C-alpha cells in the first residue's frame, strides 16, 4: 500500500509525459460517464416535469376512453384511432346518481382542428368542445371574461372561450369580449359558424410538449355535431367528490358501461376507465423503461471505453517490456509491477471519470437552462446515484480492464524482459 501511494507521483509524471495517448485513452471513459450522467439527469428532469403537470390536475379525476386496452399499456385512442363506441346514452347513464353516486362533474370532450376568423384575421387552431363543468374538472383559470356555464353548454349556445395566444393574434389591440368570430372545419363542407367571445383563458405556456394557449373552447354539442359531424365522444372526464371515492366510482362506471354495451365478460370491455394514479403509474413505467434503456446504452459505451484502456495498456506493457525487466532487475517485486500498471489504469479511468462527471453535469445544466428558456418548468436534477454509479462503473472498468495487462507485465521474467527487443 505504501509503495502504491509513493508511486502515484511517478505514475502521474509517466502519464503526463504521454499526454496525447493518455487523453485518447480516457476519451471513451469521458464520453461514457458523461453520457450516463446526462441521460439519467434528463430522464429524471423529464419525468418530474410530466408527472408534475399531471398531478397538478388533481387526484380525484377519472377518465373514460373508448376501446380496449391491457392493464399497463396506453389505450388505443391515444394513438389517434377513432372509436365510436362511447356515446351520449352512456354519459346519461353515468349521470344517474343512484348508479354512480360520487361523480360530481361529468364532462364529454371532442377535439379537432378549425380555422378561426375575425374580420380579415384568420388562424388555424385546435378546439375543445365540452361541457361547462370542464372549468372545474380541468382547473381552467380565466385571464378575463368567463367560461361558459353548464346551461350554455347544454343549450349549445354559440359562445367561445379563446386561448391566450389565439386572443392575442386575432385581437392584437384587445377588446375581444363580445366580438363575433367564425369557426370552420376545413375537412368537411359544413359552413362557418359564428360564435360570441365570452372569455380568454389565462396564459399557460407549454405543457407536455403542447402549447396550451393555442386552442379555443366551445360547447360540446355544437363542436360534436356541427363542426366535426359525429355522434360519439372522444373521451369523458369525471370529478369525484373526494379522492378516496375514486376507486369505487371507477367500479360503478364500469358496471354502468358494461350494462349499456351489453358486455357480460370483463375481458370483452370496449372501454377503459382510469384515474390519474393509473396514468402516473403507466407514465412512470414507460419513462423508467426508457431511462433504463438509455442508461444501459451509455453503460455499453463505458465498456467500450474500458476495452480501449485495456488495448492501450497492453500496447504499453509490450512497449515497456524492457522497462519492466529493468525495474525487476533493480528490485521490483511482481506485486509492485502489477500494482504499477493497475495504478496507471485506475488513474486513467479515474481522471476520465472526473472529467466525465464534470462534462456530464455541465451538459445537463445547459439542457435544463435551454428547457427553461423554452418555457418548460424544468428542474435541474443531478442524482447522486448517477454519479456514484458512473464513478463505480468507471473505476471498476479500470481495474477489470487494467488487471489483465498488469498481470501480464508482472509475470515477465526479468532477464527475458531485459533482453526483449
Partner 1 sequence: MLIELKNITKEYDNGGVVTKVLKGISLSVKEGEFLAIMGPSGSGKSTLMHIIGFLDRATSGTYLFDNEDIKDFNDDELAYIRNERIGFVFQSFNLLARTSVLDNVILPLTYSKKKDHINLATKALEAVGLGNRLSFLSNQISGGQKQRVAIARALVCDPKVIFADEPTGNLDSKSGNTVMYILGRLNNEGRTIILVTHDRNVAEHANRIITIKDGEIISDEHNLNSRKSQMIEDDQDIELK
Applying CB under 8 A, the span of 226-234, 286-294, 328-336, 401-409 interacting with partner 1 comes to 328-336
Local structure of residue 232 (DSSP, 8 states):
B
| For partner 1, the closer CB: 58 or 414 | 414
Q: How many residues bind partner 1 (CB under 8 A)?
A: 23
Nearer to partner 1 by C-beta: 3 or 307? 3
Q: CB count, 10 Å around CB of 278?
A: 17
Count CA atoms within 13 Å of residue 201 on its CB side: 25
Smaller CB separation from partner 1, 89 or 330 = 330
Contact 364, 380 (CB under 8 A): yes
Interface with partner 1, residue 408, by CB under 8 A? no
In our burial notation (b when 16+ CB lie closer than 10 A, e otherwise), range 34-60 reads bbbbbbbbbbbbbbebbbeebeeeeeb
Name the one range near partner 1 by CB under 8 A: 5-13, 74-82, 182-190, 308-316: 5-13
CB of 418 to partner 1, least distance (A): 7
Question: Counting contacts by CB under 8 A, is residue 415 touching partner 1?
Answer: yes
Q: Would you call 141 exposed, middle or buried from its count of C-beta atoms within 10 A (0-12, 13-18, 19+)?
A: exposed
Residue in 102, 221, 327, 338 binding partner 1, rule: CB under 8 A: 327
CB closer to partner 1, 176 vs 323? 323
39, 44, 25: which is closest to 300 by C-alpha?
Answer: 39
326 makes contact with partner 1 (CB under 8 A) = yes
Q: Of these, 84, 196, 247, 335, which contacts partner 1 (CB under 8 A)? A: 335
Binds partner 1 (CB under 8 A): choice among 323, 343, 345, 405 = 323
3-state secondary structure of 66: strand
Does residue 336 bind partner 1 (CB under 8 A)? yes
Q: Which stretch binds partner 1 (CB under 8 A): 38-46, 115-123, 243-251, 408-416?
A: 408-416
Cα 28–chain centre separation: 27
Task: Give which of 172, 169, 173, 148 is closest to 211, Cα–Cα.
Answer: 169
Nearer to partner 1, 144 or 335 (CB): 335
Query: What is the smallest separation between the CB atom of 26 and partner 1, expressed in angstroms?
Result: 20
Find the binder of partner 1 among 317, 332, 368, 390 (CB under 8 A).
332
Question: Does 262 interact with partner 1 (rule: CB under 8 A)?
Answer: no
Q: By C-alpha distance, which of 364, 387, 391 is closest to 42?
A: 364
SS3 category, 130: strand
The backbone torsions φ and ψ at residue 68, rounded to the nearest 5 degrees and listed phi first, read: -85, 155
Question: Closest Cα to residue 183, out of 160, 164, 152, 157?
Answer: 160
State which residue, 239 or 328, has the beta carbon closest to partner 1: 328
Binding site for partner 1 (CB under 8 A): 3, 6-7, 10, 13, 17, 322-323, 326-336, 413-415, 418
Amino acid at each position: 500500500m505504501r509503495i502504491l501511494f509513493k508511486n502515484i507521483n511517478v505514475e502521474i509524471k509517466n502519464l503526463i509525459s504521454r499526454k496525447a495517448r493518455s487523453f485518447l485513452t480516457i476519451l471513451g471513459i469521458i464520453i461514457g460517464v458523461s453520457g450516463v450522467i446526462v441521460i439519467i439527469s434528463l430522464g429524471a428532469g423529464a419525468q418530474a416535469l410530466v408527472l408534475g403537470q399531471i398531478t397538478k390536475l388533481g387526484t380525484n379525476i377519472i377518465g373514460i376512453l373508448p376501446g380496449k386496452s391491457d392493464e399497463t399499456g396506453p389505450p388505443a385512442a391515444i394513438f389517434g384511432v377513432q372509436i365510436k363506441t362511447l356515446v351520449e346514452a352512456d354519459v346519461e347513464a353515468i349521470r344517474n346518481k343512484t348508479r354512480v353516486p360520487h361523480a360530481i362533474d361529468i364532462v364529454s370532450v371532442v377535439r379537432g382542428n378549425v380555422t378561426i376568423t375575425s374580420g380579415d384575421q384568420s388562424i388555424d387552431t385546435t378546439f375543445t368542445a365540452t361541457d361547462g363543468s370542464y372549468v372545474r374538472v380541468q382547473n381552467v383559470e380565466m385571464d378575463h371574461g368567463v367560461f361558459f356555464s353548464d346551461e350554455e353548454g347544454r343549450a349549445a349556445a354559440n359562445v367561445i372561450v379563446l386561448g391566450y395566444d389565439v386572443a392575442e393574434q386575432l385581437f392584437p389591440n384587445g377588446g375581444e369580449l363580445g366580438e363575433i368570430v367564425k369557426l370552420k372545419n376545413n375537412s368537411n363542407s359544413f359552413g362557418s359558424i359564428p360564435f360570441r367571445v365570452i372569455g380568454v383563458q389565462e396564459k399557460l405556456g407549454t405543457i407536455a410538449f403542447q402549447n396550451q394557449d393555442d386552442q379555443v373552447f366551445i360547447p360540446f354539442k355544437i363542436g360534436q355535431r356541427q363542426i366535426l359531424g359525429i355522434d360519439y365522444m372522444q373521451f369523458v372526464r369525471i370529478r369525484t367528490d373526494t379522492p378516496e371515492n375514486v376507486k369505487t366510482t371507477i367500479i360503478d362506471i364500469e358496471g354502468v358501461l358494461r350494462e349499456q354495451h351489453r358486455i357480460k365478460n370483463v375481458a370483452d370491455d370496449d372501454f377503459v376507465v382510469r384515474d390519474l394514479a393509473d396514468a402516473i403509474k403507466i407514465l412512470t413505467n414507460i419513462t423508467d423503461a426508457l431511462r433504463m434503456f438509455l442508461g444501459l446504452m451509455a453503460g455499453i459505451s463505458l465498456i467500450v471505453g474500458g476495452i480501449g484502456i485495456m488495448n492501450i495498456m497492453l500496447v504499453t506493457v509490450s512497449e515497456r517490456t524492457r522497462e519492466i525487466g529493468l525495474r525487476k532487475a533493480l528490485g521490483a517485486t511482481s506485486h509492485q509491477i502489477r500494482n504499477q500498471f493497475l495504478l496507471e489504469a485506475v488513474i486513467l479511468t479515474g481522471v476520465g471519470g472526473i472529467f466525465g462527471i464534470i462534462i456530464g453535469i455541465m451538459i445537463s445544466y445547459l439542457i435544463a437552462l435551454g428547457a427553461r428558456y423554452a418555457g418548460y418548468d424544468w428542474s435541474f436534477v443531478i442524482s447522486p446515484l448517477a454519479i456514484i454509479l458512473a464513478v463505480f462503473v468507471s473505476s471498476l472498468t479500470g481495474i477489470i480492464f487494467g488487471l489483465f495487462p498488469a498481470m501480464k507485465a508482472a509475470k515477465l521474467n526479468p532477464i527475458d524482459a531485459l533482453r526483449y527487443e
